[in-house]
Chains A and B, each alone.
Chain A
Amino acid sequence: MTALQATCLIAVAIIGTLVVFTRDPLRQAAVAGIFGLALSALFLSVQAPDVALSQITVGAIVVPVLVLLAMAKIREHDR
């Protein structure tokens, strides 16, 4: 395992834990996006660029956006 791979692995572990401990859903969506980015860096470091590309777009962009939009709808409903 290279130093880069170890760094990425540790970053994924730390940020993944942060996602769990972020209790406010709004912040959690943002942190989950950063987690997606860290995960894609890990995939790139283990020479899986195809997976990394999909991970960036799905994990860091599409999923957080869908969560944010759903939350906007819920808030509006609560008002």
Chain B
Amino acid sequence: MSRRVRCVLALVALGVLGATLVVAVGDLEPFGQYPGPYGDVLAKVVPGERHTGQLVAATVLDYRGFDTLGEELILFTAACGCVALLRLRRRERSDEPSAPERPAPSLASRALGGALVGPVLVLSAYIVIHGHLTPGGGFSGGVIGAGALLLAYAAGQRVRLRRVGSIAMLEASEAIGAGGFVALALGGLIAVGATLQNFLPLGTSGMLLSAGTLPVGNLAIGIEVAGAVALIVAEFLEQALLEEPSE
């Protein structure tokens, strides 16, 4: 395809897309006006049915929990694919690769990274555990937890995960989290007849142990996401830091 034809094609496509967008945006409700019934319905039923004011968590883990289950397994599969691709190359090397030289991190990144690893881990646990009370939940908390790994790296902690068996731990936490959420979905199906429906005591709204299956689901997702994202980042780190085999 010549350059000219491509330009014409792109211009036509962009023109159609732009016109459609303008029409669609012109048809939208005014800013901040939500016409659908679902938000209002959920705001009415959630406090009674789930004993929580965190509508987002209730929607994500119960009313639309099936979508979350799918997303969960997508992340699980993506991490597995990443690991399979990146590890194949590592096995091609004959000897244990020596730790590559990298410039020592600056004092600022060592101090900041080192000082923040602990607080970030605590914040991640807090966000996961309080997912049914305050904004946040399994996904955001899990990714923040995986971010602690990056801070450790920025602080100059030599990332030799493979040797100390941390990779195996990350793999296990990914699998346990994903399996836990599937078990929760199955539990609802078996105990009360619907996937992810609540089957635990609901407790008092606002307490840490309340809202039935919501905190359990957040915990499972948090463990899974932290494991999966940390695993992907760790594989990337190892792959990027290893030397190419000499030809």
Contact = CB atoms under 8 A, between A and B. Distances in A.
Given A1-B32, A72-B240, A62 B135 contact: no
A65 B136 CA distance: 22
Contacts of B220: none
Contact of A53 (B136, B150, B237): B136
Interface string B165-193: 00000000000000000000000000000
Q: Interface size bucket, A side?
A: 10 to 19
B137 interface: yes
Nearest to A74: B240
Nearest to B31: A1
Contacts of A49: 135-136
Residue from A57, A76, A77 whose CB has the most chain B CB atoms within 10 Å = A57
A73 interface: yes
Contact of A62 (B56, B127, B233, B240): B233
Nearest to A58: B143
A69 B149 CA distance: 14
A9 to B, nearest CB: 10
B236 A50 contact: no
B129 interface: no
Given A57-B144, A62-B147, A65-B233, A50 B240 contact: no
> Shortest 6 CB-CB distances between A and B: which pairs?
A49-B135, A53-B140, A57-B143, A69-B240, A69-B236, A72-B240
Interface of A: 1, 49-50, 52-54, 57-58, 61-62, 65-66, 69-70, 72-73, 76-77
Interface of B: 31-32, 56-57, 127, 135-137, 139-140, 143-144, 146-147, 150, 229, 232-233, 236-237, 239-241, 243-244
